[in-house]
Amino acid sequence: MKGKRTFCLTLISLISTVFYVLVSREIENNRDFR
């Protein structure tokens, strides 16, 4: 069970990191667009 919980936490952190990168790129694109 412990291994599965660690896997879930890793997956969540990975998804949040990818989401953060995508949002950062969107902000940069909007800034360049203006």
Domain boundary assignment for the chain: 1-34
What confidence score (pLDDT) does residue 29 get?
85
Tell me the two tokens of residue 25: 């790129």
What confidence score (pLDDT) does residue 11 get?
97
Kindly report the CA angle at 21 between 15 and 3, in degrees rounded to 5? 25
Positive or negative, the CA dihedral 16, 21, 24, 29 is: negative
Report the alpha-carbon distance of residue 3 to residue 32 in Å, rounded.
44
pLDDT single digits (tens) 1-34 = 678 999 999 999 999 999 999 999 998 888 776 5
Give the DSSP letter string of 3-34.
Answer: HHHHHHHHHHHHHHHHHHHHHHHHHHHHHHH-
Question: Does pTM surpass 0.75?
Answer: no
What confidence score (pLDDT) does residue 33 get?
63
